[in-house]
Amino acid sequence: MSWNGSLSGAQVAAFARDGLLIIPGFYDVDSDIAPIQSGIHGVIGQVMKRHGIADARAPFVPEHFDDGYQPLLARDRSLGGEVYDAVKQIPAFIRLLGNPNHEIVFKLLRKGAIPGIAAGGYGIRIDNPNEDRFRAAWHQEYPSQLRSRDGLVFWSPLVQITPAIGPVQFCRGSHAEGLLPVLTRSDNPDAAPGAYALRLRDEAQVLQKYERIAPLTSPGDLVVVDFLTVHASGFNNSGRSRWSLQFRYFNFDDPVGLGHGWKGSFAAGVDFRTIHPELCADEGER
Interacting residues toward ligand AKG by CB under 6 A: 125, 127, 136, 141, 153, 155, 168, 231, 233, 244, 246
Q: Is 199 strand, coil or helix?
A: strand
Alpha-carbon torsion angle 58, 59, 62, 66, nearest 10: 50
CA gap 59, 111 in Å, rounded: 45
CB of 127 to ligand AKG, least distance (A): 5
CA gap 120, 123 in Å, rounded: 8
Chain residues 209-228 in contact with Fe ion, contact rule CB under 5 A: none
Q: Which is nearer to ligand AKG, 101 or 244 (CB)?
A: 244
CB of 199 to ligand AKG, least distance (A): 14
CB of 150 to ligand AKG, least distance (A): 15
State the binding partner of 236 from ligand AKG, Fe ion, none, CB within 5 to 8 A by kind. none
Report which residue's Cβ sits closest to ligand AKG.
233
Among candidate residues 215, 234, 212, 218, the one with its CA nearest the CA of residue 165: 234
State the binding partner of 127 from Fe ion, ligand AKG, none, CB within 5 to 8 A by kind. ligand AKG
Among candidate residues 185, 179, 187, the one with its CA nearest the CA of residue 197: 185
Chain residues 89-148 in contact with Fe ion, contact rule CB under 5 A: 141
Q: Which is nearer to ligand AKG, 2 or 244 (CB)?
A: 244
Max Cα distance, the chain (Å): 55
Q: Which is nearer to ligand AKG, 22 or 153 (CB)?
A: 153
CB of 233 to ligand AKG, least distance (A): 3
Q: Which is nearer to ligand AKG, 174 or 244 (CB)?
A: 244
E strands, the chain, in order: 20-23, 115-117, 123-127, 152-157, 169-171, 182-184, 199-200, 212-213, 222-226, 231-232, 242-251, 280-282
CB of 3 to Fe ion, least distance (A): 22
CA gap 141, 230 in Å, rounded: 8
Name the DSSP class of 117.
Answer: E
State the binding partner of 110 from Fe ion, ligand AKG, none, CB within 5 to 8 A by kind. none
The contact set with Fe ion (CB under 5 A) reads: 141
